[in-house]
Amino acid sequence: MPNDPNSPTPATLGYRMPAEWEPHAATWLSWPRREGISFPGAYDRVVPTLRAMVEALLESEPVNINVGNGAHEADARAALKDLPNERLTFHSIPTNEPWCRDHGPIFVTRDAEPRLAVIDWDYNAWGGKYPPFDLDEVVPTRVAGQLRLPVYYPRMILEGGSIEVNGTGALLTTEGCLLNPNRNPQFHRAEIEQRLRDYLGVGEILWLGDGIEGDDTDGHIDDLTRFVSEHTVLTVVEENEADPNHAPLQANVERLRRLTIGGKRLEIMTLPMPAKIVRDDLRLPASYANFYIANESVLLPIFADSNDERAVEVLQRAFPTRRVVAIDCRELIWGLGAFHCLTQQQPRVA
């Protein structure tokens, strides 16, 4: 459906983007390719982490995995051998890289039929940093085709990791990413906000500032601050004042203290940051905020760090009815992302 100003938007049709903690029908993944650029020379070292992720997800909900061809599917099946497969489905949808949060479909729901739809935002691999991205760019429409769902096209570049919703009309994002001229230089802030409202069914847009060092996404919100309930957020803080992350994260905390939803101030919980991780002279964007909320569990990236246990405790307080599954991501973070970056939830509809 083209972005015709005279056509009804998903919001006017009653659609909204649910919060991640609302019930899922499935989790979508895009399996990495050995020859991809995300894990240079490290695919086999990343497989145990991917397997642990899928194993934890299958205990909670069905898992759909995008693969490019039969050989790619065989590679993925070999990595996941001996896992229960009755809730595991492979889809012939080729991708360039595995970051399904950013290139995958954003699902929206409503009470009337059709109850589920897909928003297909434009995609340019985080500001054109990692070509080619032609396969990733069309993933949402291909998923919608396989599920026989309507598709809406905002005609604006947006990655799923750059937005965070509470399911009742509020959206968190960052100026560092959404206002970066490498995404949508033709749009002003007000125009970006209007598209978010029109296509995701939100009303209040809450802006934070910059992201963490080493984050090649220019400041995705899913490394910084996450909704854990309608009015409560978890946000990362760097306690070491000498660390480059201290100042921008503290600035974000100060912004959060001033923000409101429906006139009510946010409740703020804090997560520590792991110690600096460097590989090949590159600081990696390790963050405990890159967790994924599944139906029965929360997948938490950990880094053999002294703050791992504290992060588990904070997440368990935030999600007392879910099991926190902590998985070592020291190899996965070499791809500059963790569990939230790899996953995309498909909401459950009645």
Catalytic center residues: 341
Backbone φ and ψ of 269, nearest 5° = -110, 145
Give the Cα separation of 66 and 30 in Å (integer). 5
Q: Is the separation of the CB atoms in 26 and 61 below 8 Å?
A: yes
The DSSP secondary-structure symbol of 77 reads H
Give the Cα separation of 35 and 39 in Å (integer). 9
Q: Which two tokens stand for residue 227?
A: 């909704």
Within 8 A by CB and 6+ apart from 11, the residues are: 197, 198, 199, 200, 201
Reported residue count of the chain is 350
**Nearest-5° angle of CA 18, CA 26, CA 50?**
115
The DSSP secondary-structure symbol of 275 reads P
Q: Which two tokens stand for residue 335?
A: 């791809």
Closest among 53, 84, 101, 32 to 328, alpha carbons compared:
53
Integer angstrom CA distances of residue 277 from 246, 270, 285, 329, 333: 15, 20, 8, 11, 9
